[in-house]
Amino acid sequence: MRKFLVLLLLLVLLSPLAIDLYLPTIPAIAIALGSPESLIQSTIALFILIFGLGQLISGPLIDRYGRKPIAIIGIFIYIIGSSVAALSTTAEIFIAARVLQGIAVCCTGVVAFSGVRDRLNGTEAARAFGFLNGTLNIVPALAPLLGGFLAEYWGWRAPFWFLALYALVILVLVIAFLPETRPESLKGVKKLQLNHYLHILRHKNFMIFALVNAGSMGMVLTYVSFSPVVLMGDSGLSPLQFSLAFGANGFWIMFASYVANYYIPKIGRPNCLKAGSIFMAVGCLGLLFGLTLLPASLQNHWLAYMLPVACACTGLAFMMGTATSYALEPFEKEAGTASALVGFIQMAVGAALSLLAIYSMLPAKWALAALMLLGCVIALKARNTSLKLATQTEVNK
């Protein structure tokens, strides 16, 4: 099972690598292609938008045609998109390449998370989702450094050739080792079951668990968006110091995720949601404490921002894997479609919450504290729902 999860992790990494690896090369790309830097930056949002929306199509596709074939098609498209990006001579070609990459990860991401649901349930599924989500956080910490190193020696096209090569290796591994996990009950399906989305949305508990992930994503996106302004602007960190602080938090989330995975079977999933909400609340209070009670000379210290953020990120380490397992648990026969819908809600609603915070006219730390509080409230509601589910299970026994 561990080899299976590692292979799924390699699939999931295709998405964050496509976002973070080329960040240091954005100015160079803009100059080389003769386009505004803002246009190249906008391809990040375009990529995320396509990734979020495209999952609504890829979910039914993997239920109809199987996990492995769609994964292979997705990786093949990823190789093409990365190669086109590396060979781009105009901004239009580069944007088209990013669209292809976005389409590709719609397939690979949903295959990875539905594969977990196909093989695992309950606490084991929560631990597996936590492993995938936690390990992903090493990418924002290391990918920009790797991208910068590649660009320094071989130019801005090198990171995209690296992505193409990485995807080629994954393609070989998937063809050779990825088992087909689609349930037998789906093998007789002859058409795309788009109506399954309505069935899943009507399930009384699905949305609250999906919203836990959306709230967590909204908090993370807001933290990432505000970090350059807060840390380099208000706190006066240099770009290198900013990278170190930002990267350290990525490693911290990964460590916290492994700690959470250790405790899931010991304290149970409802208590993991409770622990996550407590950490999120402490992060919120930490930001507010720094804004209202610290001396003015310390309010802009970088630790007054990063320590509460690290605490809140510990909360999402306990919450996200657990919430995902609860959201997908009732949908063994529609795991692909349900995984796609969870991913869409996480990205779409999370991005909407982040945009509301960014454009709310609140100061950065106040806006981030508000999203931490919202994440805490949603997790507590989900925890109450999980306790009711546990009670119902006991009664049915």
Contacts of 14 (CB under 8 A, 6+ apart): 75, 78, 104, 105, 108, 109, 163, 166, 167, 170
Q: What is the pLDDT of residue 191?
A: 54
**Which class is domain 1-179?**
mainly alpha
d(CA 120, CA 23): 35
DSSP-based helix, strand, coil % in the chain, nearest 5? 85, 0, 15
Angle between helices 37-65 and 67-86 (to 10 degrees): 160
Which segments in the chain show pLDDT lower than 70?
1, 133-138, 140-141, 183-196, 239-240, 333, 335, 393-397
d(CA 127, CA 93): 41
Q: Which two tokens stand for residue 14?
A: 């295709």
Domain parsing of the chain, residue ranges: 1-179, 193-397
Q: What is the pLDDT of residue 190?
A: 53
Q: What is the pLDDT of residue 274?
A: 93
pLDDT tens-digit map of 245-302 = 877 887 888 788 888 888 888 888 899 999 999 999 999 999 999 988 888 788 889 8
The three-point CA angle 270-9-61 to 5° equals 90
Q: Give the count of beta carbons closer than 10 Å to the beta carbon of residue 349.
A: 19
Please tell me whether residue 361 adopts helix, strand or coil conformation.
coil
Q: Which two tokens stand for residue 316?
A: 């999402």
> For the residues of 226-281, what is the DSSP string, one character each?
HHIIIIIIIS---HHHHHHHHHHHHHHHHHHHHHHHHHHHHH-HHHHHHHHHHHHH
Average pLDDT over all residues of the chain: 84
Q: What is the pLDDT of residue 379?
A: 93
pLDDT tens-digit map of 67-100 = 899 999 999 999 999 999 999 999 999 999 999 9
Backbone angles phi, psi at 329, to 5 degrees: -55, -40
Domain 193-397 homologous superfamily, CATH: MFS general substrate transporter like domains (1.20.1250.20)
Q: Give the count of beta carbons closer than 10 Å to the beta carbon of residue 202.
A: 9
Q: What is the pLDDT of residue 377?
A: 95
190 burial type by CB count under 10 A (0-12 exposed, 13-18 middle, 19+ buried): exposed
For residue 218, which of 339, 363, 356, 102 has the smallest C-alpha distance? Answer: 356
Q: Which helix (H) or strand (E) covers residue 298, if one does?
A: helix 296-299
Please tell me whether residue 312 adopts helix, strand or coil conformation.
helix
Q: Do domains 1-179 and 193-397 have the same CATH topology?
A: yes
